Amino acid sequence: MKKSLTGVIVAIVILSGYGAVAFSFTDQNNMEKKDIFLFSSVQLTEEQDYTNVYLPEATSYLTTPRSYVLPVVTRVYTFPFLTKITKITVRFSGEQETTIVKPLKVTPQALPDNLKEPLILSPQTASSTICPERSFSYHIAAGRDGDSLTTFVAIHLYPIQYLPSDNILRYSQNAHVRISYKTPEPRQTTTFDQYELVIIAPKAFSQVVEPLVTHKINHGLTTKLVTHEEICDSAYFPVQGRDCAEEMKYFIKNAFDQWETKYVLLVGGRNGGIKQEKWWVPVRYSQLNDGGEGSYLIDLYFADLYDSNGSFSSWDSDNNGIFAEWNSQRKDVLDMYPEVYVGRLPCTSVLQVRIMVEKIITYETSTNGSEWFKTFVGVAGDTYPASNDPYYEGEMATNASFQEIESLGFQASMLWTSNDRFINADSVIDEISKGCGFVHFSGHGSPLVWSNHPPMNESWVNGPNAFQMKKLTNGDKQPIVIVGGCHNSQFNTSLFNIIKGILDDGLSYFNSTRPYGKFWYYEWIPRCWAWAMASHKKGGAIAVIANTGLGYGEPGEQTLTQRGRHLEWLFFKAYKDGKVNLGETHAKDIIYYMHEHPPMQDQTDCKIVQQWALLGDPSLHIGGYPS
């Protein structure tokens, strides 16, 4: 029997009061935006036991667990901050259907980037339920777009739906979108002082940071150094918050509101502690439990200040004191779009601060116009090797990154396992030591190492580990490094963790057979992989963007539009789109990803964004200041 397909779905959004931000509406503010989508013909191909569906307009594919691989078309609309979306209507037309012989593929499970081989899922049991059940969805968020605070509305269209019980595809040729909204009256804001860059450091580091403040001011960036002690003492704004991390976030919010702050540089990492970690500058841990780990570091928490209602984005929507919580019982509702650009130098000593200050000043004053900067280095292999999978995911990701910036005059040097240029750690060290503007590693990792596989081979090819970073001899020719893999930026590592491990687990902490002891998680190394590269005095990187927790990817053909590989190359799209300050490029990267993959609809997508940490100066002028 032929099933009916609803052609029009109307969603009405009723937004609550805006809390901390004053606003008003009038009837004259009622407005409407219309859009029309024209979809190309659906392309079907058969592969072994499955049918593949292609749509040229697709921006990604469904990632919902145990759904089917169907195209998604996303369009993002921007409105002034605090715009009230009253109704979203999507009407599809030109509907057709066809029967296919072989079923569609089930959406692959996201794979942690520390697994040796992909998990194989059995096909979903045939059902009369249409997939996806809705023909469109959307999400609304608030964040910075250039110099403006913006309301984002991302609409996700599903022009092709699948009835698995009958092997029927239904698709539409057109979609008509209508958004009804009210814009708020212009807000009156009062700015007492203006500091585009705020540097937060402990008092013990403040004297060493001063040359960086002077350097930034000399290049036209209004800058203020604030010590963490001053925040706690209400030196600038009345202290608010339930713990040190929330106090610092409220301070950043006040700086954003009253100083028009755009960049926030946190200078400070671990400061000892055994059973309880101590920090020079506060951190926040996400309490999203994906089954692989229950918490991980999240500096994005400090960047997301407002939700789309204009309320403080606490990341604790149920107010139970557990932040960024997501498990089988509870889920905090988060906005996650940044209003400020946050980066961290997780320095543990005055010496490390001095090294990083000197590196940043040298980079910004000497890099511009240098030939070496126009080199892109890709390091990758076959991230999820399988005999029936011809796709080398890491190599695909690094190639996609280079394609984004090739038109800007960059030349590529690809160290891949498939071209025999990535054969060991020394091959990577030698190439980076020549000097380059960007490096993209895409593969597997831990706090200590980064690795990948040869084509269709489960053996490992290791890149440089954290202790080998001192072998890099690139001097002042330092790249910005993007890293796909697990835990490479887990900057809470410390030798104190060995003592903690012994106290918690006894000698089983050192177990070298299954079940492995936590010693082999390498959380005891003095500096994690990313920080070891960034803080290397005689070379290394000027900044590293990598995961603080388990990274995720999707094997196979759709790897570039899903999960971690997608997020990695979107950084280079942001740079190509003109984002020349590192923090804005990093933020635009995750905004692009969240536009396409709503973080509150999928736990894995949420985690992928939260843990994507910038270890570097967010105000860094990529390529240096013009002479």
Q: Name the stretches of the chain with pLDDT < 70.
A: 1-28, 114-128, 187-191
Long-range interactions of 467-471: CB distance < 8 A, separation 24+: 467/525, 467/532, 468/425, 468/429, 469/532, 469/533, 469/536, 469/540, 470/536, 470/538, 471/429
Q: Would you state the structure tokens that stand for residue 6, as one six-digit string?
A: 């609803």
Q: What is the pLDDT of residue 387?
A: 85
Tokens 């990758």 sit at which residue? 380
How is 490-558 classified by DSSP, letter by letter? -TT--THHHHHHHHHHGGGGG--SSSPPGGGGTTTSSS-HHHHHHT-TTSS-SEEEEESS--EE--SGG
Q: What is the pLDDT of residue 476?
A: 97
Phi-psi group of 624: left, alpha or beta (phi > 0 → left; psi -120 to 50 → alpha; rest → beta) = left
Task: Provide CB contacts within 8 A for 56, sequence distance 6+.
Answer: 40, 43
480 and 622 in contact (C-beta within 8 Å)? yes
Q: What is the pLDDT of residue 195?
A: 97
- Of 336, 335, 207, 206, residue with least CA distance to 281: 206
Q: Which H/E stretch holds residue 281?
A: none
Q: What is the pLDDT of residue 15?
A: 29
Q: What is the pLDDT of residue 357?
A: 98
| Rounded Cα gap, residues 598 and 492, in angstroms | 28
- Of 263, 369, 412, residue with least CA distance to 623: 369
Q: What is the pLDDT of residue 2?
A: 33
Q: What is the pLDDT of residue 48?
A: 83
pLDDT in tens, 58-104: 999 988 877 899 999 999 999 999 999 999 999 999 999 999 999 99
Q: What is the pLDDT of residue 388?
A: 84
| Rounded Cα gap, residues 255 and 250, in angstroms | 9
Q: What is the pLDDT of residue 360?
A: 98
Residue 321 one-letter amino acid: G
Q: What is the pLDDT of residue 124?
A: 40
Q: Would you state the structure tokens that stand for residue 87, as one six-digit string?
A: 């109704």
Q: What is the pLDDT of residue 402?
A: 98
Q: What is the pLDDT of residue 109?
A: 77
pLDDT in tens, 471-504: 999 999 999 999 999 999 999 999 999 999 999 9
Task: Give 3-state DSSP helix, strand, coil % of the chain, rounded to 5.
Answer: 25, 25, 45
Residue 368 one-letter amino acid: N
Residue 275 one-letter amino acid: K
Tell me the domains of the chain and their CATH numbers.
8-182 (2.60.40.3800), 197-326 (3.40.50), 367-491+527-615 (3.40.50.1460), 494-526 (no CATH)
Phi-psi group of 513: left, alpha or beta (phi > 0 → left; psi -120 to 50 → alpha; rest → beta) = beta
